[in-house]
Amino acid sequence: MTRIALDQIAHSYLPKPDGKDDYALKKIDTIWDDGAAYALLGPSGCGKTTLLNIISGLLTPSEGKVLYDGVDVTNLPPEKRNIAQVFQFPVLYDTMTVFDNLAFPLRNRGIEKKEVDKRVYEVAELLELTPFLKKKAKGLGADSKQKISLGRGLVRKDVAAILFDEPLTVIDPHLKWLLRRKLKEIHEQTGITFIYVTHDQVEAMTFADKVVVMYEGEIVQVGTPRELFENPEHTFVGYFIGSPGMNFLDCRLDGKYAVYGDTKIPLSEKTIEMAKNINGPLQLGIRPMYIEFDLDGKEGSIPVEVSKIEDLGHCRIVTADLSGNELKIRIPEGVNIQTGTQKIFFPPEWTKLYSDGKLINKGAI
Amino acid sequence: MDKWEDNKAWFLVVPVFLIVAFSAIIPLMTVVNYSIQDILAPGKGVFVGVEWFREILSDSRLHGALIRQIIYTFSILAIEIPLGIMIALLMPARGFSSSISLVIVAIPLLIPWNVVGTIFQIFGRGDIGLGGAFLHKIGIDYNYASDSVDAWLTVLTMDVWHWTPLVVLLCFAGLRAIPDAYYQAAKIDGASKWAVFRFIQLPKLKGVLIIAVLLRFMDSFMIYTEPFVLSGGGPGNATTFLSQYLAQLAIGQFDLGPAAAFSLIYFLIILLFCFIFYTFMQNAEKENG
C-alpha cells in the first residue's frame, strides 16, 4: 500500500511563469495517508483538477516532487504509477462490452486470461454490474457508466489510490446519493485510498474522512468535516463551508477586546496573547450558530438591529445589522426572537481572529 | 371559406415549386420522355417503349464501363479513407503548426476538376512533365496516353491527390471532438497507441467516416472531367467510366434515346447506393443515441 506525498509542488500552465499569479498551483506540500477517503474541495478554477492530474501523472508539475512511499515518481507516466482515475464524464470504450471494458486495463498489462476473468467477475459483483457484463457499454445509464469507469481502476490489483474528478456531475440527483453511498461502501471494503474532487461541500463532508480545502492554488486547510466547521483555519474555509457561511467583521485589537466601529467584542485571554504581535488588519469570524442572543443582559453583549427571520424548518436564520455589517445568526427551534433591536453575545471560545485570511488564534479556547 | 384566407402560403410555395420544377422535375421528365422514344430529328420522335432499356442493359460497352467504374470507385475508397485517417492522425492538434498544415492539406480541394486534369496531363508527360520525365529518367516506361495501366494509375493518383484532403479534414474535425479524458483514461489503463486508435479514435470517427465514404462514393461514381482532360477516356476505353460513356452516347453519337435510358439506370444505381448508406447511417445514429 502506498503513501502519497507531494513535496513543494507548484505548477504553471505557462512556459515561463512570472510571479505568483501565473501559477495554477502555488507550493503544495501535503501527505495523503494510505487507505483514507479524502475530499478535495474548492471552487471552480482553484486548481483541484490540476492537483489531481499531478498525482496521477497526467501532468508533470513545473516544480516539486511527487513521492509514492518515498520513491520519486514525478516523471513517471500514469500507466507506470499504481493509480486509477475516474473522470467527470464517464469514459467508456463504446465498441466493447462491459466485460471487455473492465478487462481492458488488465489485458493491456498482459495479465493471463484466468486471472482477468476472476478479477472482472469480482469487481462486477462488487459494483453490481454482473447482469450487464455481456452488454455493450454504450447503452447503459450514466450511473452504470461511471461505475464501469471506477471498475477499470478497481480490477487492477496494484492500485493504491483512485482519484475521482467530480464523478457525480452527470448523474441524476436521485441516483447521486445511491452512488455516493456505494463509493463509500467500496472504500470501506477495499481499503484503497480515495481522493475525491468536488466543489460541493455536502458531497465532500458526507464522503470523506478528511477534507482538503483548496483556494486559489493553495491548500488552506486539511481536516475532518468537524474541524473544518468548528475551526476554520482560513477565512475562505469559514465562508465556503457551512450554510450560511461564517460572519466576518474587520476589527482591531484594543486591550481585551476586538473593536469593530464602536463595538467592543470580548476575547479570550489566549487569543489576546496570540494576536498581540500581529501587525496589519484583523478580521473577526464567528459561525452563525455560535452567536447567542442575550436575553438576560450578560457583560459584553452587543445591540443589533434584527431585520429578517427566515424559517428553514429545522432552524431559523436571523439577519441582523451591526453598525452597517450584516450578520447571519442561526437559532435553534424554541428560541423566540422578534425583529427590532436585540442584544447578542459572541462566546469568546467561538470567536476566531484572522490576519491576512489565516487563523491566528488556533487552539485558543 | 377559411381555406381561402390563407392565400399567402402560395407565395411561399410557388417559387420553390418553380425552382424544383425547372431544375429537377422537368429535366428528369424530359429524360424519361427521351428514353422511350427514338428521336429522329429535333421534335420528331417515335415511341419505342422499353426498347432502349433492353438495348442498353445488354450493351457490352456499358458493362465494361460499369465494371471499370466499380473497380475505380472501390480502389479510390480503399486508398483515400485509410490514407486520410492516417494523415489526420499525424497532423498536429493545436497551435500554429496545426493551422499551417490544415491550409496546406486543403489546397488541392480549391482546384477545379479540369485544372487538376490539366496539371496531371502536363505533370505526367514524358518530355516536359516533372513526374513523367523523372520516371523516364529512372528507367520506368511510363506513358498515360498509350498504356492503359499507366492511364489508370494516373487517374487514381489524381483523385487521391485531389480528394484525400476532404477525408483528412473530416477526420481531423472528428478527432478534435474527442474529449481529452478519453486519452487520459486510456493512458491510465495502459493502452497502447494501437489500442487507443482501435478502441477510442476509430469508434469516435465512425460518423464522419460514413459521411466521407458517402461523399467520395458519389463523387467518384460520377467522375468525368479528369479522365476526359487527361486522355479522353483512353487509351482505347481504359479510363472510360460511366459518365464518359454516357457523354459519348448523348453528345458524340446523338443517340438521345439510349443515352436517356442509360441516364435513368445510372441515376437508379447511385440512388440505390445512397439509400443503403443512408440506412446504415441512420442505424449507426440510433445505436449512438
pLDDT of residue B76: 93
Task: Calculate what percentage of chain B has a pLDDT beyond 70.
Answer: 96
A241 within domain boundaries: no
Is residue B249 within 8 Å of residue B255, measured between CB atoms?
yes
CB contact under 8 A, A78 and B185: no
DSSP per position, A23-72:
-SEEEEEEEE-TT-EEEEE--TTSSHHHHHHHHHTSS--SEEEEEETTEE
Domain termination residue (choose one: A236, A270, A303): A236
pLDDT in tens, A80-103: 888 889 988 888 898 888 999 999
Domain containing A16 equals 4-236
d(CA A164, CA A150): 9
In chain A, the number of structural domains is: 2
Check whether residue A39 and residue A139 sit in a common domain: yes
Q: How far apart are the CA of A78 and the nearest CA of chain B, in angstroms?
A: 5
Check whether residue A289 and residue A308 sit in a common domain: yes
Q: What is the average per-residue pLDDT within B101-124?
A: 90
CA distances to A59, A73, A147, A160, B9 from A78, rounded to whole Å, are 9, 10, 21, 13, 64
| A95 and chain B in contact, CB less than 8 A | yes
Helix (H, G, I), strand (E, B) or coil at A304: strand
d(CA A238, CA A247): 8
In one-letter notation, the amino acid at residue A332 is: P
In one-letter notation, the amino acid at residue B203 is: P
Does position B2 have pLDDT exceeding 70, yes or no?
A: no
Domain termination residue (choose one: A205, A236, A267): A236
pLDDT in tens, A14-34: 888 777 778 888 888 888 888
Check whether residue A160 and residue A125 sit in a common domain: yes
Q: Which residues of B touch A83 (CB under 8 A)?
A: 188
Check whether residue A11 and residue A129 sit in a common domain: yes
Is residue B154 within 8 Å of residue B72, measured between CB atoms?
no
pLDDT in tens, A44-71: 888 888 998 898 888 888 888 888 888 8
When pLDDT is cut at 50, 70 and 90, the band that residue A267 belongs to is confident
Q: Which residues of B touch A91 (CB under 8 A)?
A: 181-182, 184-185
Domain termination residue (choose one: A236, A257, A282): A236
Q: How far apart are the CA of A50 and the nearest CA of chain B, in angstroms?
A: 13
Q: Which residues of B touch A85 (CB under 8 A)?
A: 184-185, 188
Task: Among B182, B287, B288, select the one facing A91 at the smallest CB separation.
Answer: B182
Q: Which residues of A touch B204 (CB under 8 A)?
A: 94
Q: How far apart are the CA of B199 and the nearest CA of chain A, in angstroms?
A: 6
d(CA A133, CA A118): 13
Interface of chain B toward chain A, CB-CB under 8 angstroms: 179, 181-182, 184-185, 187-192, 195, 199-200, 203-204, 287-288
d(CA A112, CA A105): 12
pLDDT in tens, A128-157: 888 888 888 888 888 888 889 989 988 888
Average confidence score pLDDT of chain B: 86
CATH superfamily of B61-288: MetI-like (1.10.3720.10)
| A78 and chain B in contact, CB less than 8 A | yes
CA-nearest residue to B197 within chain A is A93
Sheet holding A340-345, edge to edge: A292-293, A340-345, A302-311, A316-322, A325-331
CB contact under 8 A, B199 and A89: no
Establish whether this prediction's ipTM goes over 0.85. Answer: no
CB contact under 8 A, A84 and B199: no
pLDDT of residue B109: 92
Check whether residue A190 and residue A292 sit in a common domain: no
Question: Which residue from B89, B47, B62 is spatially nearest to B196, judged by alpha carbons?
Answer: B89
Helix, strand, coil distribution of chain A in percent, nearest 5 = 30, 30, 40
CB contact under 8 A, B192 and A108: yes
Check whether residue A68 and residue A107 sit in a common domain: yes
In one-letter notation, the amino acid at residue B119 is: I
Q: What is the average per-residue pLDDT within B221-231?
A: 84
Q: How far apart are the CA of A21 and the nearest CA of chain B, in angstroms?
A: 24
Average confidence score pLDDT of chain A: 85
Check whether residue A83 and residue A230 sit in a common domain: yes
Q: Are strands A83-86 and A161-165 parallel, antiparallel or unpaired?
A: parallel
When pLDDT is cut at 50, 70 and 90, the band that residue B170 belongs to is very high
CATH of the domain at A338: 2.40.50.140
d(CA A266, CA A257): 5
Q: What is the CA radius of gyration of chain A?
A: 25
pLDDT in tens, B261-288: 888 988 888 888 888 877 887 776 666 5
Q: Which residues of B touch A93 (CB under 8 A)?
A: 199-200, 203
Does position B289 have pLDDT exceeding 50, yes or no?
A: no
CA-nearest residue to B183 within chain A is A91
CATH of the domain at A47: 3.40.50.300
d(CA B272, CA B76): 20
